[in-house]
Chain A
Amino acid sequence: MNDFLAARSQMALSLGFHIIYACIGMVMPFFMAIAHYKWLRTNNIVYRNITKAWSKGVAIFFATGAVSGTVLSFELGLLWPGFMKHAGPIFGMPFSLEGTAFFIEAIALGFFLYGWDKLNKWFHWFTGIVVGVSGLASGILVVSANAWMNSPAGFEYVNGEYINIDPISAMFNGAWFSQALHMTLAAFAATGFAVAGVHALMILRKKNEVFHAKAFRIAIVFGAIAALLQPVSGDISAKDVTKRQPAKLAAMEALFKTETAAPLIIGGIPDEETQTVKYKIELPGMLSFLAHGDFTHEVTGLDKIPKENHPPVMVTHFAFQIMVGIGSFLVLLALIYFISLKKKSWYNRKWFLRLFVVAIPLGFIAVEAGWVVTEVGRQPWIIYNVLRTADAVTPMPGIVYSFYMFTVIYLSLTAVVIYLLRRQIQMVPVLYDKKDSTQPAVN
């Protein structure tokens, strides 16, 4: 592994790790707010227990997300100094606002986690909402900075100089809305299905069924609605990518030759040597329709793009297939959930609960795959059509060791977090099964 590949891998690892914690940290507070609201309204102790149990998960995820986010803000420079010394002043605006949003989130989380029985109960509830809203704002702002790399705006690039910088129009670049919408929905879908799945598993195991059934119902509503809306946002994104980054679209669809009435490829193994795709299923004209809204429209293939500007086709194509495949499965699951609202007997069926257990990791796999599409599909550029990733990397040799080290750190952290969550879930009966109203130990 050379240092350039190591730097890219370390960045991918750090982002891939952070995104999971960031998603959960920005979505779970909304689940908590619903449970908390029900507790305050109905005085049903189960809802308070759910809120408390979730808030412990949020504390663990938030802390891990906060430190991995801090690491990323340094890694941007540590790994890509050639990028940051130009890009910082242009796309820094969302980061400076995100600093505020993140700060408010941390303050509100302090109030929320430690505010039980100390604050006015509705103020306490409100601080939970603030955690969610500011978390969501942070997420949107950071995605807007990433969108700028795909759709550079707010400066002119003349003879290698970046002039006429306008940080506001850089923030509201052409891709910010489609990317932010897609990511926000993805966060809700992934977290909703993951949380619902864990509670479904507990119901299957016949543990604290009342507790877990109520928790399941709150989480799944968020997940299911987001999953159903996601195809619409995916369509907006696809059209946006077609317009702005034809090379990325061609790689996503492994479209080697420019075609009219281009087919949508399902599956298949692209071969960059022979410019063909083996073992594929074709839906005639569908790609033209999805990209341009017209079954016969011409779609730009990789042949129209200079070879040195091609993104890696295989990785981008596979990642795209995984994302769309999982997305479709979650749509199906969402529909099954909404049907179950009519057919109440399904709730007790094993197959029904098992479907949701299967979905625990799927949303997050789709999120990771989606980021692979965005990031790998933008290569070889770090700022699309302006600066090459290879020209931005740090001159420091030996990054490969740093990559190994971070791999070990993040793998062990992941293991510990899973271990902690297991222990939290196993402790649910001990902490929350008291029938009397005495308060369970907070820690």
Chain B
Amino acid sequence: MEYVVIAYLFLSILLYVVLGGADFGAGIIELFTSEKNKDRTRETLYRAIGPIWEANHMWLIITIVILFVAYPLIYAEMSVYLHIPLIIMLIGIIARGTAFVFRNYDAVKDDMQHIYNRIYFTSSFITPLFLGIVAGSVVSGHIDHAAATFVDVYIFSWLNWFSVGVGFFVVALCGFLASVYLIGETDNPDDRKRFINKARHMNIAAVLSGMYVFITAWIDDIPLANWIFGTTIGLIAVIAAGISLVILWILIYSGNAIIIRLLAGFQVTMILLALGYAHFPDFIVVKNGTNLTLMDHRATLQTINALGWALLTGTVFIIPALFYLYYKFKHKEYPHD
């Protein structure tokens, strides 16, 4: 059962990054779309994510519940040392979720729309940025149990070049996922071209920020290269991600929308797999080496078993319903306006 729970933890993180990430990415794309095209982008986006966006964000709740039920010490450690970036991320989540619904459910469409839009795309950028910063900080080894001052404990635990780099990498990744997703949501050739362009820009941004992450890791003595290229699985995963990216770019103009989406999702999966595998079972890397691991810092077996069964039972209900939701609302069913 221990491994069932660990599998669910990684699965829900992965699905949140892919599905929730594509959702954030939609806002990021809107942010980087010129004024004259913003309305069209917004419309495609609403059609694409309206029915499913709430469900996409449930993966974060599943992740956090698994953390605090099964790995309470890890959850508490993150809550204390990464309090500030987590709070900023939460404010982003509030702002984004409410602005998205408000702008669609405001009965009168007037100047308020500008305010909702601004809040929506700003928070779509900030939330994954700080999600990435939190993720980067968890593995960066900057959390220091011996630190004494406020700044050392609560600021420098997350404010460093590496964590911020991971933040920007996650933002670019979200934008990339969303562009690839939206390509399949429109038949209009102009829109398609725009989304393909966006995908290209976001891909370049991801590569650049990825390189930046490697450089800062090297400066900060974080053995990132070793984690990814040092293990067979990591190496295979990175090569697979690279190959699938090439295939994606070959197929992007003509290929089946589902396949290119799956390829993009596959890349993220491979990146997370390489990182997760190299780290396992460590979850939080601490400065003096007293890392918190998924094996040594878990709750008692009674709790793990109960949680495992709850997750397995939940899956039986959730997965068919979720697939039916995605199936029923894929864009082909919509009349074009």
A47–B322 Cα gap in the complex (Å)?
29
Residue pair A90, B303 in contact (C-beta under 8 Å): yes
Given A64-B98, A114-B51, CB of A168 within 8 Å of CB of B306: yes
Cα A69 to Cα B60 in complex, Å, equals 12
Q: Are B80 and A394 in contact (CB under 8 A)?
A: yes
Total number of B residues with any Cβ neighbor in A under 8 Å = 61
**Interface of B: prevailing SS:** helix
CB–CB B317/A100 < 8 A: yes
Could you tell me if B87 and A402 are in contact, using CB atoms closer than 8 angstroms?
yes
Q: In the complex, which residue of chain B has the Cβ closest to the Cβ of A427?
A: B107
A78-B328 Cα distance, complex, nearest whole Å: 39
Q: Look across to chain A and name the residue whose beta carbon is closest to the beta carbon of B321.
A: A107
Give min CB distance, A245 to chain B, whole Å: 25
Of B62-70, B138-146, B247-255, B271-279, the one contacting chain A is B62-70
A424 an interface residue at 8 Å Cβ cutoff? yes
A261: interface (CB < 8 Å)? no
Q: Is A420 an interface residue (CB 8 A)?
A: yes
Instruction: Please count the residue pairs between chain A and chain B whose beta carbons lie under 8 angstroms apart in the complex.
Output: 202
Which of A55-63, A175-183, A283-291, A345-353 is near enough to bind chain B?
A: A55-63
Residues of chain B within 8 A (CB-CB) of A41 are none
Q: How far is the CA of A67 from the CA of B72 in the complex (A)?
A: 22
Interface hits, A76-123 → B, CB 8 Å: 76-78, 81-82, 84-90, 92-93, 95-100, 102-104, 106-111, 113-115, 118-119
**Size of interface on A: residues with Cβ below 8 Å to B:** 70
A85 and B72 within 8 A (CB): yes
A74 near B86 (CB under 8 angstroms)?
A: yes
Q: B90 within 8 Å of A by Cβ?
A: yes
Contact B333 A71 (CB under 8 A): no
Flag A6-21 by CB within 8 Å of B: 1 or 0 each: 0000000000000000
Do B79 and A81 touch (CB < 8 A)?
yes
The complex places the Cα of A212 from the Cα of B83 at a distance, in Å, of 47
Write out the residue numbers on chain B whose beta carbons fall within 8 Å of the beta carbon of A413. Answer: 94, 98
Residue of B nearest to A53 (CB): B107
* Structural contact, B303 and A420, CB atoms closer than 8 A: no
Q: Is the interface of A mostly helix, strand, loop or mixed?
A: helix
Contact B79 A88 (CB under 8 A): no
A85 to B299, CA, bound (A): 9
Residues B318 and A86 in contact, CB atoms below 8 Å apart = no
Any A CB within 8 A of the CB of B52:
yes
B126-150 Cβ-contact flags toward A at 8 Å (1 or 0):
0000000000000000000000001
- Determine if B198 is an interface residue (Cβ-Cβ < 8 Å): no
A396–B80 touching, CB < 8 Å = yes
How many angstroms from the CA of A108 to the CA of B311 in the assembled complex? 19
Interface centre among A63, A82, A168, A416 (most CB of B within 10 A): A63
B228 within 8 A of partner (CB): no
Q: Which of B52, B61, B108 counts the most chain A CB atoms within 10 A?
A: B61
Q: Can you list 21 pairs linking A and B with CB atoms under 8 Å apart? A: A63-B54, A66-B54, A66-B57, A67-B94, A70-B61, A73-B61, A81-B79, A84-B72, A85-B72, A88-B68, A93-B307, A95-B69, A96-B65, A96-B310, A107-B325, A111-B51, A119-B328, A420-B102, A423-B107, A431-B107, A443-B104
List chain A positions with a Cβ less than 8 A from chain B.
56, 59-60, 62-64, 66-71, 73-78, 81-82, 84-90, 92-93, 95-100, 102-104, 106-111, 113-115, 118-119, 165-168, 394-398, 402, 405, 409, 413, 416, 420, 423-424, 426-427, 431, 443
